[in-house]
Structure 1
Amino acid sequence: MKNNRRSFIKLAAVAAAGIAVAPKAAVAAGGHAAPIKKNPEALEAKRWGMVIDTTKLHTKEEIAALGEICHTVHNVPELEGPQELMWLWSDSYAHSFPEQENPHLAEEIHHRDYPLLCNHCDNPPCVRVCPTKATYKRADGIVAMDYHRCIGCRYCMAGCPYGSRSFNWGEPRKHLDLSKINPDFPTRMRGVVEKCNFCVERLAEGKLPACAEASHGAIIFGDLSDPDSNVRQVLRERYTIRRKPAAGTEPSVYYII
């Protein structure tokens, strides 16, 4: 009995010494305390925003092509019905801008398709209702997600007035072509929510969002806080609207109608 107790005390002492030394060893080995190297080519802004020119981008086929690019970059499987996952999709004027329906607009405007995505609101209700902080707002205004924190409660989906979030009811990896998976972006798992992230992984590499890059000028992306930015110039020169202004969310996505 005494020997067992003596052995236990010795082991406890060794463990305590190891705990005391571990942080120093981690620093020496470049652990958590090591500085994160920042890409000098990364694009930065105080508040990222987007302007979509629907006079240039307004057919279902054009929007679907951009959606396919977005979904390929972010490993979003193509599903149908209630299990459909959408980062970038299209809808009618009446559904996209229900509070701004105007019977005197040109008939052509009512028959266009409009590209929709997460609005990366300045006052995002999805962030407020998320119990685990899996949804959070970055310093640059992007509403991002930590998939590992998501518990699938779907409060964020209920809180979002734009229907910009999708839930993984099944295992999304089963519906991906393994030969076409983008290794630079994580795949998700069953039971988590996902949405457009303004291509934060591309911004970190100095690249524009995939949809903006492939839109041939129909999607303008830049810093809303910079009066000299490209988006601010467009907002000064063109009349734009945002989705559901009465919701008070202050979307960062604007539409030229």
Structure 2
Amino acid sequence: MSINRRDFLKKAGVITALGLGGAITLDAFEILEPLKAADFTSPEGLADKRWALVIDMSKIDQATIDEVIAACHDLHNVPDMGNAKDEIKWIWTDSFEHVFPGEENHYLDETTKKIPFLTLCNHCDHPPCVRVCPTQATFRREDGVVGMDMHRCIGCRFCMAACPYGARSFNYWDPTPHIKEINPDYPRRSKGVVEKCNLCMDRIDQGKEPVCAEKSNGAIVFGNLEDPNSAVRELLSTNYSMRRKPELGTQPSVYYLIGGEERA
């Protein structure tokens, strides 16, 4: 990120004031406004890419689900709070009727009704969470990744209210005691901070795919929507796909393939 010392101190002062309960004024927003998507995008020339995931539900079984969730949560120091009320999740499962509420019908086949759908942040083209964040702790990169700088987060939870997919969690308690084995290569959060899936943007910047795709045994395919020859484009052009709540106009970058091979 290109920023001089004076601008940095201004931004730090605004964030501190907001975190201490200071008034959110127009001047405060003007100071924070200069941050752009390019500031958070890797210098590796990723601006011509639009990353996406395609989840093939015909290849999902419980063992794959368990491996994917464990790999994601272990890598990113996601705590296990031990109860649903305080649950912190980056990737999880839910039923078809909750994942696709507008698509539920009385004649849906029983198999589809019962299978667990992997669910995560949709990394939208038009993310409402970014628009409402007063400190720009949530941002959208030029390659489509919606990330978070959790050190800028003041815990206002505007993003949680704005996200129509329930993709964010709030740390009501200090998460550190609830992490089984801490990964020293990924930052830990503190009490009062929101967090979510960041599409493994640090791995992407190293030329790797997200860990959920790596550990999915081919059930989750990662690739560039801007490349007509990419694996995700091939799947989307040859299969019927679904996205969550398309009527909202957020343009999710997570696609689901339903049907095909017999499920395990």
2: CA distance, partners of 1:56 / 1:43: 29
Q: What is residue 7 of structure 2 aligned with on the other side? A: none
Answer yes or no: is the 8 Å Cα contact 1:123–1:248 preserved in 2: yes
What pairs up with 1:201-240 in 2 under 5 angstroms? 201-240=202-241
What CA distance in whole angstroms lies between the structure 1 residues aligned with 2:174 and 2:182? 15
Cα separation, 2, equivalents of 1:45 and 1:242: 23
Distance 2:93 2:84 in 1: 15
Letter in 2 for 1:76: V
Q: d(CA) in 2 for partners of 1:76 and 1:185?
A: 10
- RMSD of the alignment, in Å? 1.9
Paired residues of 1:52 and 1:219 also in contact (CA < 8 A): yes
Find the counterpart in structure 1 of residue 18 from structure 2.
Answer: none
Provide the secondary structure at the position in 2 that maps to 1:183.
coil
* Counterpart pick for 1:132 among 127, 131, 135: 135
2 CA distance for matches of 1:102 and 1:47? Answer: 33
Q: 2:59 & 2:87 partners in 1: Cα distance? A: 27
Residue of 67, 74, 77 corresponding to 2:76: 74
1:183 is displaced (CA, Å) by 1.6
The 5 A counterparts of 1:28-43 are: none
8 Å CA contact retained: 2:52, 2:225: yes
Q: Number of matched residues?
A: 217
Aligned to 2:22: none
The answer as to whether partners of 2:64 and 2:217 remain within 8 angstroms in 1 is no
Aligned partner of 1:171 among 169, 174, 180: 174
**CA deviation after TM superposition for structure 1 residue 62, in Å:** 3.2
Aligned match for 1:63, one of 59, 65, 87: 65
* Unmatched 5+ stretches in structure 1: 1-37
- Which amino acid is 2:79 matched to? P
Deviation at 1:133, TM superposition (A): 0.5
Q: Which amino acid aligns with 1:245?
A: P
Aligned-pair CA distance for 1:105 = 2.9
1:143 aligns with 2:146: yes
Amino acid at match of 2:234: Q
Cα drift, residue 45 of structure 1 = 5.5
* SS of match in other structure, 2:121: coil
**Equivalent position SS for 2:129:** helix
- CA deviation string 1:89-132 (max 9, x = no partner): 00000011001113333221111110000000001000011111
Structure 2: tracts of 5 or more residues without a match: 1-41, 259-264
Runs of 4+ in 1 over 4 A off after TM superposition: 42-45
Secondary structure (helix, strand or coil) at the match of 2:177 reads helix
Which protein has the larger Cα radius of gyration, Structure 1 or Structure 2? 1
Does structure 2 conserve the Cα–Cα contact (< 8 Å) formed by 1:93 and 1:114?
yes
Cα contact 1:142–1:198 (8 A) shared by 2: yes
Q: Which secondary structure state, in structure 2, belongs to the residue aligned with residue 82 of structure 1?
A: coil
Identity within the alignment, %: 54
The answer on 1:84 being equivalent to 2:57 is: no
**Residue deviations 1:224-255 (CA, integer Å, cap 9, x gap):** 11111110000001110001111111000000
Asked if structure 1 preserves the Cα contact closer than 8 Å seen for 2:120 and 2:197, the reply is yes
Q: Counterpart in 2 of 1:186? A: 187
Structure 1 residues 124, 43: closer, same or farther in 2, change over 3 A? closer
